[in-house]
Amino acid sequence: MGKLLKTLLTVLVVLLSVNHANAALTLSLDKKMIPINAFYKGNALKITGTVASGEDVVVKITSPLENESFMVKEKLFHLFWMNKDKVDVSKVNSVYMLYSSADIDGILPVAERNKYSLGYEALHNSVGISGASDKDALFREFIKVKEAGKLYSAPDNKVGNKVILMPLKDGNNSFWLTVKMPYQVPIGRYEVAVYAVKNRSIVQMVSDNVLIEPVGVVREISDIAMNHGGVYGVLAIIIALITGYMVTPVIGIAKRMLLAAIMAPRSIINAVNGQVYPMSALEETDQAKE
């Protein structure tokens, strides 16, 4: 009986501690939608929340899994570099950003990183590559392309000190991270997943979504260009024709205004000196030149 009671008490303590940990991890995003407007140049996403004391935090921002195709550049005829063979990368995130409160290699073993796809090494193990003989080399090039396009960030898993932890009065920690979402990140819905790490394993995970989508005039133009190419083409031509028609008169007006602005002080000086310098004379000179 005593042994049973002791076991029940142990289970209760474990359950309570797990429950405590579960209750501690929270996530909050400062925005659910990042609008792409006419002056868009990327946007900052503030990710905040709480985590139990003694736990580390890993934040992962990803797009849904999809398949992507690439062309491999090779030197042809020992002369020009051009696209040659096509390779397919399957089950891959087109956008992948990873941040943590400590060096991920130090806080998580390989098996745990692979399980949750945390870090490039884990990604390498999960994606499918077809059409390439050297898959390791191709994956390295794939990461270089993604990083150059600012779509991937998790350099060598050494991403510590990005997520800031601050102690709270209730014994938990608050975490805080600002991610610059560059303009290169395409339109779509992205998952923000936060992992609580304790004793080299992930003890809890919460997630939320953020949507990047065009609004206003950008959305209208993009929609017409993609879905009504003929109408868009006619509009683009009409706008260009009107602009071309207006260029010469507008420059003529601007030139006259500029000349008037330059000559005005001289007119005033001449007027003060008792001389008259009519502006119409300027226009006549201008017309004679034309």
Partner 1 sequence: MNIYLPVAHTSINLIIMLSIGTGIGLLSGLFGVGGGFLITPVLMMFGIPPTVAAASGANQMVAASTSATLTHWKLGNVDMKMGLYLLAGSFLGGGLGVQVVKILNAMGNIDFVIKLTYVLLPFTVGGIMLGESLKKKSPDKGHEGRVRQSACSRLMGSLPFQMEFAKSGVRHSAILPVLIGIMVGVLAAIMGVGGGFIMVPIMLYILKMPMRVIIGTSVFQILFTVIEVTFLQSYTNHSVDFVLALVMLTGSSIGAYIGTMFSEKLNTEQLKVLLALLILSVGVKILFELMSKPSLLLAYSFGGK
Task: List residues binding partner 1 (CB under 8 A).
Answer: 36-42, 68-73, 75, 79-83, 86-87, 94, 138, 141-142, 144-145, 148, 183-184, 186-187, 214, 217-219, 221-222, 225-226, 229-230, 232-237, 239-241, 243-245, 247-248, 251, 255
Least separation, in Å, of the C-beta of 35 and partner 1? 10
Which CB, 72 or 164, lies closer to partner 1? 72
Q: Which position has the token pair 């990803």?
A: 62
Which CB, 36 or 210, lies closer to partner 1? 36
Least separation, in Å, of the C-beta of 56 and partner 1? 32
Rounded to a whole number of angstroms, the distance between the first and last alpha carbons of the chain is 112
Which CB, 160 or 182, lies closer to partner 1? 182
Which CB, 246 or 260, lies closer to partner 1? 246
Rounded (5°) CA angle 122-124-125? 65
Cβ neighbours of residue 80 closer than 8 Å, sequence gap 6 or more: none
| Residue type for position 240 | A
Least separation, in Å, of the C-beta of 277 and partner 1? 23
Least separation, in Å, of the C-beta of 47 and partner 1? 23
Which CB, 46 or 86, lies closer to partner 1? 86
Least separation, in Å, of the C-beta of 125 and partner 1? 20
Q: How far is CA 93 from CA 125, 150, 210, in A?
A: 13, 13, 15
d(CA 214, CA 204) in angstroms, rounded, equals 34
* Residue 157 phi, psi dihedral angles, 5° rounding: 65, 0
> Are 197 and 55 a contacting pair, CB within 8 Å?
yes
Least separation, in Å, of the C-beta of 263 and partner 1? 18
Is residue 31 left, alpha or beta, with left meaning phi > 0 and alpha meaning psi from -120 to 50? beta
> Are 59 and 102 a contacting pair, CB within 8 Å?
no
Closest CA to 59 of 95, 101, 110, 25: 101
Least separation, in Å, of the C-beta of 95 and partner 1? 9
Which CB, 71 or 110, lies closer to partner 1? 71
Which CB, 1 or 81, lies closer to partner 1? 81
